[in-house]
Amino acid sequence: MGLTLVQGQDLLAKGGAVWLKSLKGLRRVDAILRRLDEGYCDPLELRAESKLGVSGLVQAVRKQGITIANPLGSGILENLGLHPFMPELAHFFLNEELILPQIASWWCGQSKECAYVLENLSTLIVKTIDRSGNEFGTYVGKNLSADEQEQLRAKIVENPYMFVGQEEVQFATAPSLVEGEIKPRNVVIRSFAIIKDAQYEVMPGALVRVGSSDDSLIVSGQRGGSSKDLWVLGESGPMAPNSVYKPKAAFENSLENIPSLRAENLFWLGRYLMRCIVSARMIRITLKSLANATRYDSQGNLRAQEILCDTLTHLSMTYPGFLGEGDEKVTDPIVEIWSVISQNDRVGSLSQALNMLSNANTSTKNLLPLEAWRIFERLMREWNGYANNALPLQRTMISGLDNLLVHLMAYKALIEDSLFAEQGLILYEIGAGLERSQLLITKSRAMLTSVYEPFTEYEILETLLGSSESLNAYRAHYRASIELPHVSEFMLLDSQFPKSLISEISRLLKLLPKLPKFKHDIYLSRYEEPLFEAFSFLRLSRIESLCTLASDSVVRENMDALLASVSDKLIVASDELSKTYFAHYDE
- Please tell me the predicted confidence (pLDDT) of residue 248: 55
Set out the domains of the chain in order of their start, with CATH numbers.
Answer: 8-75 (3.40.50.11290), 80-167 (3.30.1490.270), 173-228 (no CATH), 259-418 (no CATH), 422-587 (no CATH)
Mean of all residue pLDDT scores within the chain: 88
CA distances from 501 to 380, 497, 566 (A): 31, 9, 10
329 with 314: CB under 8 angstroms? no
Q: Is residue 194 helix, strand or coil?
A: strand
Task: DSSP letter for 251, please.
Answer: T
**Spatial distance between the Cα atoms of 351 and 353, rounded to a whole number of angstroms:** 5
> Is the pLDDT higher at 523 or at 542?
542
End-to-end Cα spacing for the chain: 30
pLDDT-derived band of residue 251, with 50, 70 and 90 as boundaries? very low
The whole-number average pLDDT for the span 394-418 is: 95
User: Phi/psi of residue 68, each to 5°?
Assistant: -120, 120
Stretch among 22-31, 196-205, 439-448 having the lowest mean pLDDT: 196-205
Which one is predicted more confidently, 190 or 491?
491
Q: Would you state the pLDDT for residue 235?
A: 67
Q: What percent of the chain has pLDDT over 90?
A: 60
Model confidence at 294, pLDDT cuts 50, 70, 90, reads: very low
Least confident of 67-71, 185-189, 261-265, 309-313: 185-189
Check: CB of residue 231 under 8 Å from CB of residue 220. Answer: no
Distance between CA atoms of residues 500 and 443, nearest Å: 13
Segment (H or E) for 91: helix 86-94
> Rounded mean pLDDT of 440-459?
94
Q: What is the pLDDT of residues 334-343, one digit of tens each?
A: 999 999 999 9
pLDDT higher than 60, residue 448: yes
Mean pLDDT of the 423-447 span = 95
Between 370 and 479, the higher pLDDT residue: 370
66: pLDDT strictly greater than 50: yes
Residue 101 has what pLDDT? 83
Name the residue with higher pLDDT: 176 or 418.
418
Q: What is the mean pLDDT of residues 112-124?
A: 93
Residue 295 has pLDDT above 70, yes or no: no
Structure confidence at residue 504 as a pLDDT band (50, 70, 90): very high
Q: Give yes or no for residue 92 having a pLDDT over 90.
A: yes
Cβ atoms 104, 167 nearer than 8 A? yes
Distances (CA, A) of 111 to 15, 27, 79, 153, 320: 50, 54, 19, 14, 72
- Give the span between the Cα atoms of 400 and 138, in whole angstroms: 50
Q: Which of 246-260, 437-451, 558-572 has the lowest mean pLDDT?
A: 246-260
334 against 298, higher pLDDT: 334
User: Up-side HSE of residue 159: CA atoms within 13 Å toward CB?
Assistant: 8
DSSP string, 409-469: HHHHHHHHHH--GGGTHHHHHHHHHHHHHHHHHHHHHHHTSB---HHHHHHHHHHHHHHTT
Torsion angle, CA of 62/28/261/507, rounded to 10 degrees?
A: -150
Global pTM reads 0.80
β-pairing verdict for 31-33 and 67-69: parallel
Q: What single string gives the DSSP state of each residue in 96-136?
A: ---SSPPPPEEETTSHHHHHHHHHTGGGEEEEES-TTSTT-
Strand ranges of the sheet holding 105-107, from the earlier edge strand across to the other edge: 105-107, 163-167, 124-128, 138-140
Q: What angle do CA 375, 376, 377 make, to 5 degrees?
A: 95
Three-state SS for 145-177 is CHHHHHHHHHHHHHCHHHEEEEECCCCCEEEEE
**Does position 521 have pLDDT exceeding 90, yes or no?**
no
Check: CB of residue 449 under 8 Å from CB of residue 559.
Answer: yes
- Which has more pLDDT, 222 or 360? 360
Taking residues 97-119, report their average pLDDT.
Answer: 92
pLDDT of residue 78: 80
H or E element in which residue 25 lies: strand 25-29
pLDDT for 139-148, tens place per residue? 888 889 999 9
Question: pLDDT at position 408, please?
Answer: 97
Q: What is the mean pLDDT of residues 125-154?
A: 83
Question: What's the mean pLDDT in 2-7?
Answer: 82
- pLDDT band at 132, cuts 50/70/90? low
What is the arithmetic mean of pLDDT over 169-196? Answer: 82
What is the tens place of the pLDDT at every residue in 366-388? 889 999 999 999 999 999 999 99
DSSP 523: P
